[in-house]
Amino acid sequence: MSADLDQLFTKVRADADHVPLAAPSRLREAGDRRARRNRLAAVTVVAAAVVLGTVGVGAAVIRQGPPPAPSGSSGPSPFAPSPSSAGPSSGGVGGLGTVPPSSPPSSPPARAAGAACRAGDLKVESITSGGASGSTGYTVTVTNRSATMCKLAGAPALKWIKPNGSPATIPTTSQGRSDPVALQPGKRAEFIIVITNGFGGYDPSSPACANPVTYRRISAVVGGSLTLTGLVLDVRCDGVRVTTWTTVAG
């Protein structure tokens, strides 16, 4: 390397020194909060699985990603997380949390092909979480369980049940293409709910973190209410972003 490039890298080092970083105690607090939230979510899912199992409706499985390295490992590679599964809300580096939703008990009657999908046409296959560095995404995958093609347009609205029992709409912003998605029978489509993970790099006292809220008992509005069982959105800063529907290959 020439001395000139060395000089440029020296400038990078100097500029990087100006990047503000949180105190280590703040990072530990954020990590501990996340761990508590994940433990709570895991307990909730297990409880739901037990209830569902007793009435014969369904079963629940919690799938965990690979654990980090065993101690004494000679290098980081064997336990490094995969980029595609680096989920801060998933309970660990490289982990994925899957929330198995409940299934409607019967198929809906057939309708004309090409109509807008209704909640009864769709079965929620999975809700998986993943994310990185300040954001968590919950991918909601559905299957068209009806006998005809139907269409999904835009990003679905989300509703939740407040602690006092009243339903309310979750304020969201949508992102993605607005073209309707045609969903053939048996095929899958998905949308993603993205929230800031914890404080996501924000100063907790910043205006973006002034209205924290935990949304529970959430449903997507798709020609009716599509229950997203087990999903909890703990929004500390920023709002909730929802992507438009996209089809899933395969």
Partner 1 sequence: MSSNVSGRDFDDFYRATARRVVGYVYALTGDQGEAQDVTQEAYIRAWRHWSRIGDFEHAESWVRLVAARLATDRWRRLRRRQSIEAAERPPEPVAPPSEDTVLLARALKTLPVHQRQAVCLHYLLDLPVGDIARELGVPAGTVKSWLSRGRAALAEYLGRSPSPTLRKEGNGVR
Residues that bind partner 1 (CB under 8 A): 1-2, 4-9, 11-22, 24-25, 27-28, 30-32, 34-35, 68-73, 75-77, 79-84, 86, 88, 92-93, 130-137, 173, 175, 192, 194, 200-202, 206-208, 238-239, 241
**How far is residue 118 from each of residues 5, 98, 148, 237, measured CA to CA in Å?**
60, 24, 12, 32
Which residue, 49 or 235, is less far from partner 1 as judged by CB? 235
Of 159 and 241, which CB lies nearer to partner 1 in the complex structure? 241
Nearer to partner 1, 9 or 114 (CB): 9
Nearer to partner 1, 174 or 247 (CB): 174
Could you tell me the smallest distance in angstroms from the CB atom of residue 246 to partner 1? 13
Give the span between the Cα atoms of 41 and 54, in whole angstroms.
Answer: 20
- What residue ranges in the chain does DSSP mark as E strands? 97-99, 115-116, 122-132, 135-144, 150-152, 157-161, 167-170, 172-175, 181-183, 188-196, 213-215, 219-221, 225-227, 233-235, 240-243, 246-248
Comparison of 175 and 214: residue with beta carbon closer to partner 1: 175
For residue 217, give the DSSP letter. Answer: S
Q: How far is the CB of 96 from partner 1 (least distance, A)?
A: 13
Locus of tokens 């404080």:
199
Least distance (Å) between residue 190 CB and partner 1:
13
> Closest separation between CB of residue 115 and partner 1, Å?
31
In the bound state with partner 1, the residue whose beta carbon lies nearer, of 25 and 164, is 25
Query: Please, which residue, 103 or 135, has the CB nearer to partner 1?
Result: 135
Q: Looking up tokens 């989300």, which residue turns up?
A: 158
CB of 62 to partner 1, least distance (A): 18
Q: Is 169 left (phi over 0), alpha (psi -120 to 50) or beta?
A: beta
Amino acid (1-letter code) at residue 84: S
**CB of 229 within 8 A of CB of 171?**
no
Q: Residue type for 33, please? A: R
Q: How far is the CB of 34 from partner 1 (least distance, A)?
A: 7
Distance of CA 201 to the CA centre of its chain: 18
Closest CA to 124 of 92, 172, 156: 156
Q: How far is the CB of 30 from partner 1 (least distance, A)?
A: 5
